[in-house]
Structure 1
Amino acid sequence: MTKGRVTVIDIAKAAGVSKSTVSLVLQGSSLVNDGTRAKVNAVMRELGYVYNRGAANLRQSGSKSKIIGVVVNDLTNGFFAELAVGVDMVVQSAGFVQFLSNTSESLDRQREVIASMREHGISGLIMSPARATEAADLKPLVAAGIPVVVAVRNVPGAKVSSVVSDNREGISAGVQHLASLGHRRIAFIGGFSDTAVFDERIDGYRGAIAACGLELDEDLILPSAPSRAGGVDAIGRALAIAAAPTAAVCFNDAVAFGVCDGLRAQRLEPGRDFAVVGFDDVIEAKAAVPALTTISVDPQGMGRRAAQLLLKQISAGRAEAESIVSSVRLVVRETCGANLAGGSNRRQA
């Protein structure tokens, strides 16, 4: 068996059939009997063969693929819609078409959509990995020489390029701002604990709590789904703590919006009775009532940078891993209470 990419010849040898028979199976030809078809398909699954449908078409036309795959973990989160817009701005101007898919945090779905994209001969892939994605999940893409850029969530050990935000600095800035307003019990709310981005943001939280001379209370770290519903659930748990927090830095803006919803459900007003800081600065953050104080990441800008990096690798004909860490900044609006006369009405523990 040859090393690297599995070929039609490898499949033919393993299945004990001719190369032409394998080709007929791939084309769905009725000339192959069901038994042989099943045998060939079983061997392809066993060897991990991916039929590059796009490449087959391209061999006939003599052209090159102009498709970029974009896979995100949660398209219901406005951040990823903005990220995709940023990607499209760049790839469209370069003559490429974006093939967008949502995994809803499912590793199985992620494998399916990537396999489908490979069948259509994508030139490269930009992805925000589903939770629990490991380096081994990306290894087949690397082995096939397909340029890959992971965005937002890094995958430790994966030999692919990445574009992420400065997670530690962002959360640290949020904590320090809340501490400067007089808060002593500051919670960290939201995020799946099995992702690298969660680890980085928690590191920023713990470091800032120490730097501000505050006591670290692990009960104030409340993971949840990184969604609006997750924020509602987590703030309910936070307010049930005996020495409840008076402020929170949130994993992302979606969680922060949920926290605001949960506060109002308990007749508490964000920015007046409880301070909230998000992370992302999605379009809705500025228009929200009250406007959301958040860490600005510029999701469209991140999408543009990821696309530029991918196109650079496609043009170079090689996928050398590069890492970009985007700077972040605190945008002070209303939910932290800083803009209220006399500051926020804090409930000190």
Structure 2
Amino acid sequence: MKQPKVTVVDVAHAAGVSKSTVSLVLQGSSLVNETTRAKVGAVIRELGYVYNRSAANLRQSKSKIVGIVVNDLTNSFFAELAVGMDMVVQSAGYIQFMANSAENPDRQAEVIASMREHGMAGLILSPARGTTSADLRPLVDSGIPVVLVARNVPGLKVSSVVSDGHAGAAAAVRHLVELGHRRIAFLGGFNDTAVFDERMRGFRDALVEAGLDASDELVISSAPSRAGGVAAVERLLSMADRPTAALCFNDAVAFGACDGLRSARIEPGVDFGVIGFDDVIEAKTAVPALTTVSVDPQGMGRRAAQLLLKQINSGDFEPEALVASVRLVVRESCGAAQRMKREAVTA
């Protein structure tokens, strides 16, 4: 009687690990520690499991599944980014397989491994914090087209779609300077990410250009979330020489900053200038309406999906780097309207 074929699930069960971990071992991923790798390898040999790579590649080549992994779906920016991708992917006849890494590289590796098991045709990835080129190289070397969006991974030669964070941050600071602010802070974001570094350089370059203080005490890093914005403002308000305005890492931080200011009876847009970054849908309807650097997240998502489908259809994975232009959208939170009222009174 013919013995049933040993599967990845059988190996995972016998080794006491997840199916995704077995897949990572088969792919040679550096995310699996040596002890687990050895245990899985021993089970594979014991059960006689054979990894049919050619069959996996054949399934992948015929796949109509596009993997999409973002690092924070609770952030409106990434939700809008995903909507833009979905518009293009569905209209091209593909099905999207979406996952949220929650800024966890291990979780990211697991969901990517699961997507590979299902035979994805390509992957759009907004990398989790701490992702390295070594983490993703086995995936790239396997021949699956990859497009990075919103964030880059230094040293990884794949296509990418990012926004011009330096230009956006510089434009925001120049606007605050024009409004009369001379002590400006930068709030929120993780200081070990490339996108933080880019926006920070734009912030500092504009301050230096204006002959203003650009010291480290004006940079208050925190989680890039609404709660992170509240925490950053609490630290700002404890400063002896308190800033009068702030550029926030993103809109979520800006919303939190406004919450924190109100808790301290400081009215954003009147007593303190606030500028965000992204221009999510809620920015226009917030109170006060948020002045922000618009990066058009849905547009970025569409471009990332178009770039991936181009690579899938042509078989040409030559890296392309697209940098989306940005623009400052002036609303109420920066205090521009208040300045106009004052000028009208004194005219």
**TM-score under structure 1 length normalisation:** 0.84
User: Matched residues in 2 for 1:344 and 1:324: separation?
Assistant: 42
- Deviation digits for residues 62-120 of structure 1 (CA, Å, limit 9, x no counterpart): 98101111101100000101000000100111100111100111111001100000101
Confirm or deny that 1:299 pairs with 2:271: no
Question: Which residue of 2 is the match for residue 104 of structure 1?
Answer: 102
CA–CA distance in structure 2, aligned partners of residues 326 and 248 of structure 1: 24
Match of 2:282 among 281, 284, 287: 284
User: 1:27-80 CA distances to partner (integer Å, 9 max, x unpaired)?
Assistant: 657xx9x97999xx9997655369799x65975xx9810111110110000010
Pair 1:195–1:98, CA change in 2 (3 A):
same
Who is 2:84 aligned against? 86
Distance 2:85 2:23 in 1: 33
Segments of structure 2 that go 5 or more residues without pairing to the other structure are 30-50
Structure 2 CA distance for partners of 1:301 and 1:188, relative to 1, 3 Å: same
Report the counterpart of residue 42 of structure 2 in structure 1: none
2:226 aligned to which of 218, 225, 228: 228
Q: Answer whether contact 1:272 1:344 (CA < 8 A) is retained.
A: no
Q: Indicate conservation of the 8 Å contact 1:232/1:259, yes or no.
A: yes
Once the two structures are superposed, what CA deviation does each residue of 1:301-338 show, in whole Å capped at 9, x if it has no partner? 00000000001111111321110000000000000010
Corresponding pairs, count: 318
3-state DSSP of counterpart to 1:24 = coil
Separation in structure 2 between the aligned mates of residue 84 and residue 146 of structure 1, nearest angstrom: 20
Report the counterpart of residue 37 of structure 2 in structure 1.
Answer: none
User: For 1:261-276, what aligned pairs fall within 5 Å after superposition?
Assistant: 261-276=259-274
Cα distance in 2 for residues equivalent to 1:36 and 1:301: 45
- Residue of structure 1 equivalent to 2:235: 237
Shift of 1:215: 1.9
Residues 344 and 258 of structure 1: CA distance in aligned 2, closer, same or farther (over 3 Å): farther
Structure 1 residue aligned with 2:7, among 16, 21, 26? 26
The one-letter code sitting in structure 1 at the alignment partner of 2:254 is A
Within 5 A, what are the aligned runs for 1:1-349? 24-26=5-7, 28=9, 46-48=25-27, 64-342=62-340
Q: State the shift of 1:217 in Å.
A: 2.2
For the residue of structure 1 that corresponds to 2:222, the secondary structure is: coil
Question: Which residue pairs with 1:13 in the alignment?
Answer: none
| Offset at residue 154 of structure 1 (A) | 0.8
Aligned to 2:40: none
Residues in 2 aligned to 1:268 and 1:244: alpha-carbon distance in whole angstroms: 12
Letter of the 1:24 partner, please give it: K
Is the contact made by 1:67 and 1:124 (CA closer than 8 Å) also made in structure 2? yes
Instruction: Report the equivalent of 1:7.
Output: none
Equivalent residue, structure 2, for 1:11: none
Can you give the 5+ residue segments of structure 1 that lack an aligned partner in the other structure?
A: 1-19
> Aligned partners of 1:131, 1:257: CA distance in 2, in Å?
22
The aligned amino acid for 1:292 is: L
2:36 corresponds in structure 1 to: none
TM-score, reference length from structure 2: 0.85
Change (3 A) 1:135 1:344: farther
Specify the SS of the correspondent of 1:207: helix
For residues 141 and 78 of structure 2, the distance between their equivalents in structure 1, rounded to whole angstroms, comes to: 27
2:91 partner amino acid: S
Say whether the 8 Å CA contact 1:75–1:81 is kept in structure 2: yes
Contact persistence 2:261–2:268 (CA under 8 A): yes
String of CA shifts for 1:200-222, please: whole Å, max 9, x gaps: 01110110001112122210101
Assess, with a 3 A threshold, how the Cα gap between structure 1 residues 157 and 344 changes in structure 2: closer, same or farther: farther
Matches of 1:215 and 1:260 in 2, distance apart? Answer: 23
Q: SS state of the match for residue 209, structure 1?
A: helix
Change in Cα spacing, 1:82 to 1:88, as seen in structure 2 (3 Å) is: same
Contact 1:313 1:319 in 2 (8 A): yes
SS at match of 2:6: helix
1:169-188 per-residue CA deviation (whole Å, 9 max, x = no partner) reads 00000000000000000001
State the distance in 2 between where 1:36 and 1:258 align: 46
**Identity over aligned pairs, percent:** 66
Contact 2:65 2:95 in 1 (8 A): yes
Letter in 1 for 2:62: K
Whether the 8 Å contact between 2:28 and 2:138 is mirrored in structure 1 is no
The separation in 2 between residues aligned to 1:94 and 1:166, in whole angstroms, is 28
